């Protein structure tokens, strides 16, 4: 089957659009097919048109009630789904941890001042005194 692009001048006859399965009649030779050049058509013989058109019409009659039911169900379920989606988004925003991987946590803030109870008698922090005591103990054991 020869494929013809949209906008082409064609001889008279019936042409089937491959994108939307619609028949386009061309009355006179030299008329152009509708649509852009990206749309493709196939020339259909007259006998095939008389066989295919009633079949397509019958399929529409058979499936139209199912299409209506599907559209009604979709219209009924969509608001309910939106409620659950909104609640899920709110819950996800609530339980999202404050920690963000890859974020810089060294912001340059000064460390908090130590309380007075944590300082040794000489005004140095207790941890520094303990380190000094440990260092002197290590030196005394090395000498002995």
The tens digit of pLDDT for each residue in 28-87 reads 999 999 989 899 999 999 898 889 889 988 998 999 999 999 999 999 999 988 888 888
Query: Is the pTM higher than 0.85?
Result: no
Which comes out higher in pLDDT, residue 88 or 124? 88
pLDDT of residue 11: 92
103 pLDDT above the threshold of 60: yes
Strand-by-strand arrangement of the 3-5 sheet: 3-5, 40-44, 13-17, 23-26
Return d(Cα 81, Cα 92) in angstroms, integer: 16
Tell the residue number behind the tokens 């290590």, with chain if given. Answer: 138
Strands (E), the chain: 3-5, 9-10, 13-17, 23-26, 31-32, 40-44
């Amino acid at each position: 089957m020869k494929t013809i692009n949209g906008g082409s001048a064609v001889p008279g006859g019936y042409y089937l659009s491959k994108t939307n399965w619609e028949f386009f009649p061309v009355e006179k030779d030299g008329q152009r097919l509708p649509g852009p050049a990206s749309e493709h058509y196939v020339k259909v013989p007259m006998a095939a048109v008389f066989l295919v058109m009633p079949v397509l019409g019958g399929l529409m009659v058979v499936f139209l009630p199912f299409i209506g039911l599907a559209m009604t169900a979709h219209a009924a379920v969509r608001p309910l789904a939106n409620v659950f989606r909104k609640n899920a988004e709110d819950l996800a925003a609530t339980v999202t941890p404050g920690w963000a991987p890859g974020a810089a946590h060294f912001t340059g803030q000064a460390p908090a001042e130590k309380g007075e109870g944590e300082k040794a008698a000489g005004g140095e922090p207790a941890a520094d005194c303990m380190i000094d005591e440990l260092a002197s103990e290590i030196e005394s054991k090395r000498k002995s």
